């Protein structure tokens, strides 16, 4: 079955991590469209389709760094998960922080997953490949207004 590309919103201010994520998504052969915003305020403008993102496509998955300028990732996560129109979008916190309080806070704010960025190219690529396998091969994604529901063929059990 032929599916449209998955739309991923990456909320990340570090240009090196943006490049690394872009390369890892390409390497793992996920048909995707990647949108990148570099701070929390721009993320909320993108998600609410405000200037300059009025025509932004609703993401199928959000990769969220916690350490963002202008509005931190925890605030962004809280805003997403308290919004009736956004809360069904899966949010994967992808951050360098392994601090237990950050992890607890992210889950208290209803993050769907918390991943600590591994050091090194190969571990990062393996993590993105695992993320692809879970979210786009096994998990059933919620339908959205702009994205029709899709079904994934799973191997027989």
* pLDDT tens sequence across 123-135: 999 999 999 999 9
Please count the structural domains in the chain.
1
CATH number at 14 reads 3.40.50.2300
pTM: 0.88
Task: Please report, in tens digits, the pLDDT of each residue of the chain (157 residues total).
Answer: 456 788 999 999 999 999 999 999 999 888 899 999 999 999 999 999 999 999 999 999 999 999 999 899 999 999 999 999 999 999 999 999 999 999 999 999 999 999 999 988 999 999 999 999 999 889 887 776 544 333 343 333 3
Residue 66 lies in a domain: yes
How far is the C-alpha of 8 from the C-alpha of 89, rounded, in Å?
Answer: 10
Q: Which is nearest to 32 in space by CA: 145, 143, 129? A: 129
Domain that holds residue 76: 6-138
Q: Tell me the three state secondary structure of residue 16.
A: helix
């Amino acid at each position: 079955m032929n599916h449209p590309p998955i739309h991923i919103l990456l909320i990340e201010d570090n240009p090196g991590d943006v490049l690394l994520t872009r390369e890892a998504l390409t390497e793992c052969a996920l048909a995707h469209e990647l949108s990148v915003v570099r701070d929390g305020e721009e993320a909320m403008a993108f998600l609410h389709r405000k200037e300059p993102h009025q025509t932004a496509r609703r993401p199928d998955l959000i990769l969220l760094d916690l350490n963002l300028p202008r509005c931190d990732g925890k605030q962004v996560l809280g805003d997403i998960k308290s919004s009736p129109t956004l809360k069904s979008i899966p949010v994967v916190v992808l951050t360098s922080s392994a601090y237990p309080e950050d992890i607890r806070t992210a889950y208290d704010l209803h993050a769907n997953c918390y991943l600590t960025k591994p050091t090194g190219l190969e571990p990062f690529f393996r993590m993105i490949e695992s993320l692809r396998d879970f979210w786009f091969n096994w998990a059933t994604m919620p339908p959205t207004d702009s994205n029709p529901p899709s079904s994934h063929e799973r191997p027989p059990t």
